Structure 1
Amino acid sequence: MTSSLESPAPLVVPPAAPVVRHWIGPLMVFGGGVCIGFAPIGLRLGLDDLGPQAIAFWRYLFAAPVLLALVVLIERRAPRPPNRFVLMAGTFFTLDMALWHWSLTLTTVSNATFIVNLGNISVGFMAWLFLKERPTNKWFVAVVLAVLGAAVLSLGGEVGGKGDIRGDMLALAAALLVSGYMLCSKLARRTLGGLETIFWLTLVEICIASLIVALSGESFLPENLSGFRAPLFLALIVQVMGQGLIITGLGRTPAAIAGVVVIVQPVVAAAISWSLFDEPLTALQAAGAGAILAAVWLSQRGKPVPID
């Protein structure tokens, strides 16, 4: 005979779904963009000891062992083999840096800065075309704000030189390479972690940058050991922290949003130049910086896009 006082079956509570914090990826990209904003400052401070291509080479070389150590300490294993997208991204980035530096010798800094920043904007359109990541409607408004802000920030100051169509075309080529770099980096992150990706990217950059230095005729070594200070600063702040945060954040951020968020870098560079080199912004440039910050905020508003 079955008892009428049987104990009820225990209530099984299903485990809660993991919380996806969609703001972490864009925040990492933003932090990386802030670090990248120190790049022109470090380059400017190092030009008395090394040429621009040599500075880039030593920046990559100093960063490589630090990145390898971080992979081993954090992941507790050696980096996994690179994929073809890492090789492509590293090539795009190194050539972008070389063309950017070359363009600065032929056209105004304002022209080159504005044109190269258009490459970050075009990432969203390339991701839409190749990755089928359609941006939100607010993103298009953010793009307009970012382009206007970049134009005003770069072109709204005192004219410091005469533009040259050859330099402008080199800057445009560099902008296209920026787009390719960010797109391929996002694809590389599908099978690799963020630290692994930036480590392999840096190794590719070392190889290509060494050839560029040799072809440019620049000296690999400074006259004094103090000449390594700027490349070491760039390696730790820009390459390890800046590029590392951007590449890691790309795995959690739609490419369109990342392309807008990373444009915070010229705002940072302008603010540092103001305090360090006594180069105050005009009212027009300050308005441009404000427009860029508004675009960064607006680009990530709305319904999050699925992430990798």
Structure 2
Amino acid sequence: MTATSPAADPSPLPAPAGRAWLGPLMVLTGGAALGFAPIGLRLGLDELGAQAIAFWRYLFAIPILFPLVLLAQRRLPARPNAAIILAGIFFTFDMALWHWALTLTSVSNATFIVNLGNAGVGLAAWLFLKERPGMTWFWAAGLAILGAAALSLGGPGLSGGALKGDLLAFIAAGFIAGYMLFSKLARRSLGGIEAMFWLSVVEAAVALPIVFIAGENLFPASASGFLMPLLLTLIVQVAGQGLIITGLGSTNTAVAGILVLAQPVVAAAIAWHAFAEPLTAIQAAGAGVILIAVWLSQQGKPRPGRSGLVTVT
């Protein structure tokens, strides 16, 4: 590895105690913003395929994030590290499978299943990052999974096509867990905005061949077809994912995984009105349980592991 300058010192300092809430709040808000992703995808399918929408969402983010890096860092983006490249690859494959799943199953089903990766990322962080979650997290994770299951399985019966979509979303869950882990590692030497810039560059590069493999048209039939990808760029890619990446720098990975589960609640609530996918009583109860899990995840103190890596700025 090459030596780093003092300005890029990968040894982080703990977040000020008075601002300990800021990182988790950013992750929670970012997760809520991600709830608009499946909605925008459904609305944009008249002009573009699911994979093409993802590609343009990533590509449009690059010219938006680059000047933000210059403004915030007063310099060009730092060189990407291996972790941010892997995070981008994992996220792109996650989104490719999830977007495919959203065309085959309901918004709430696909969003729930892919977020199992977020709920379980705490265990992976324990193994690979030595971030040991407190006992409260295990209760929160259990409630989150129970609530998410009710949100998904409490709806109408599934057809064969929906089952295929659910299986694709389950595979995507594994990729989202890898994305969270590598994003956490990347933030040790990259600022939040420049991490998002490099993520978008990697994601656009990986998503382009996926569009052609899927046999989709790269360009919409009319200029108005770019509107929904642009909105997804602003709300989901720049605001949503950007808040999560930035907040991860000062949030325990296990806790962040629970906080991001605000996404299926928001997605299901919007889909209720936008796509006539009403929530049953069981699904509404599941959404409530998820919100309780989000609150509970913030009540415990994660314990440091052997390496003491719990909070990273």
Do both proteins adopt the same fold according to a TM-score greater than 0.5, normalized to the shorter chain?
yes
In structure 1, C-alpha distance between the alignment counterparts of 2:80 and 2:207, rounded to whole Å: 19
Q: Which runs of 5+ in 1 are unaligned?
A: 1-16
Match of 1:22 among 20, 23, 27: 20
Give 1:77's aligned residue.
Answer: 75
1:43 maps to amino acid: L
SS in 1 for 2:131: coil
Asked if the contact 2:92/2:206 (under 8 Å) is kept, the reply is: yes
Match of 1:285 among 283, 286, 289: 283
2:20 maps to amino acid: H
Asked if the contact 2:251/2:311 (under 8 Å) is kept, the reply is: yes
1:40 maps to amino acid: P
Give 2:38's aligned residue.
Answer: 40
In structure 2, C-alpha distance between the alignment counterparts of 1:106 and 1:281, rounded to whole Å: 19
Give 1:153's aligned residue.
Answer: 151
Q: What's the TM-score, normalizing by structure 1?
A: 0.90
Match of 2:96 among 82, 95, 98: 98
What pairs with 1:127-138 in structure 2 (closer than 5 Å)? 127-138=125-136
Q: Which runs of 4+ in 1 moved over 6 A?
A: none
Asked if the contact 2:133/2:302 (under 8 Å) is kept, the reply is: no
Specify the structure having the higher radius of gyration (Cα).
1
1:307 maps to amino acid: T
Give 1:58's aligned residue.
Answer: 56
Give 1:302's aligned residue.
Answer: 300
Deviation readout 1:72-97 (Å, 9 max, x if unpaired): 11221111000000000000000111
Cα deviation for residue 108 of structure 1 reads 5.9
Deviation readout 1:138-169 (Å, 9 max, x if unpaired): 11000111001101111212235336765444
Asked if the contact 1:22/1:252 (under 8 Å) is kept, the reply is: yes
- The number of residue pairs the alignment matches comes to 292
User: Kindly, what percent of the aligned residue pairs are identical?
Assistant: 65
Asked if the contact 1:59/1:231 (under 8 Å) is kept, the reply is: yes
In structure 1, C-alpha distance between the alignment counterparts of 2:207 and 2:117, rounded to whole Å: 21
In structure 2, C-alpha distance between the alignment counterparts of 1:87 and 1:135, rounded to whole Å: 26
Cα deviation for residue 188 of structure 1 reads 0.0
What pairs with 1:97-246 in structure 2 (closer than 5 Å)? 97-105=95-103, 111-159=109-157, 161-162=159-160, 167-246=165-244
Give 1:7's aligned residue.
Answer: none
In structure 2, C-alpha distance between the alignment counterparts of 1:109 and 1:19, rounded to whole Å: 38
RMSD between aligned residues:
1.8
SS in 2 for 1:192: coil
Deviation readout 1:246-284 (Å, 9 max, x if unpaired): 000000000000000000001011111223344332111
Q: Which runs of 5+ in 2 are unaligned?
A: 1-14, 304-309
In structure 1, C-alpha distance between the alignment counterparts of 2:191 and 2:38, rounded to whole Å: 28
Asked if the contact 1:119/1:179 (under 8 Å) is kept, the reply is: yes
Deviation readout 1:82-139 (Å, 9 max, x if unpaired): 0000000000000111122233455665553332111111110000000111101111
Q: Which segment is superposed worse, 177-186 or 269-278?
A: 269-278
SS in 1 for 2:46: coil
